[in-house]
Chains A and B, each alone.
Chain A
Amino acid sequence: GDSVTQMEGPVTLSEEAFLTINCTYTATGYPSLFWYVQYPGEGLQLLLKATKADDKGSNKGFEATYRKETTSFHLEKGSVQVSDSAVYFCALRWGGATNKLIFGTGTLLAVQP
């Protein structure tokens, strides 16, 4: 079945460091891909998305490119801030019969001043 695999955390970085969180997926067809962020004690917020191969989603300095050939959607940011500390979830959605989001296990990012 469809699934999402994320790198295990926690990821600990110093402020202004470069961030990469790896995400790969397994799916039939061509799903849409998402990154969600969950700040402590809060719900999920959509960070960015891509709906087809080679699309690049971007928001708040974060970017991810839909790579069909490697079935990946890695999250990157050039310079992280303490306020980026949160749990990041990669997810896919296949708009067919199920129509549900399938999540990865989440990656905790801790940014230190």
Chain B
Amino acid sequence: GEEVAQTPKHLVRGEGQKAKLYCAPIKGHSYVFWYQQVLKNEFKFLISFQNENVFDETGMPKERFSAKCLPNSPCSLEIQATKLEDSAVYFCASSQYTGQGRNYGYTFGSGTRLTVV
């Protein structure tokens, strides 16, 4: 399809529980990105994939966060032992291949709102 599909839309977890978010990128898009939106506006980059390979994981809190993009499956972002500070909206985006001098914008999903209580 022509949209990035994120599920679930809302997720509530008790502190210490696991949370798993899913993202189906647009077919044919090679890159997938995860962002965390906190404090109403600020977007924090978490991780990106080129197909099923991790491309850039410099934003990931590695001790509790993990992500995968496996063939023929939605991508996933998993948070082990959630903390109150993980409450945010998590956005997934996908993009076509970016060749030299050809930079495409992202297409964003509508996000998953995670609330940790």
Contacts and interface: CB of A to CB of B under 8 A. Distances in A.
Contacts of A34: 105
B45 A100 contact: yes
A44 B56 contact: no
Given A99-B98, A100-B45, A32 B110 contact: no
B interface bracket (residues with beta carbon within 8 Å of A): 20 to 34
A87 B56 contact: no
Given A99-B98, A100-B45, A49 B55 contact: no
A7 to B, nearest CB: 13
A108 B40 CA distance: 11
Interface in A82-113: 87, 89, 93, 95, 97-103, 105-106, 108
Nearest to B59: A100
B41 A106 contact: yes
B33 A101 contact: yes
B107 A46 contact: yes
B43 A103 contact: yes
B106 A43 contact: no
A69 interface: no
B111 A101 contact: no
Contacts of A46: 105-107
Given A36-B108, A89-B43, A93-B105, 10 more contacts: A34-B105, A43-B91, A43-B110, A43-B111, A51-B101, A95-B99, A98-B56, A100-B48, A101-B33, A101-B106
Interface of B: 31, 33, 41-43, 45, 48, 55-56, 58, 91, 93, 98-103, 105-111
28 contacts: A43-B91, A43-B108, A43-B110, A44-B91, A44-B93, A44-B106, A44-B108, A49-B105, A51-B101, A51-B102, A93-B103, A93-B105, A95-B99, A95-B100, A97-B56, A98-B58, A99-B31, A99-B48, A99-B98, A100-B33, A100-B48, A101-B43, A101-B45, A101-B106, A102-B45, A103-B42, A105-B42, A106-B42
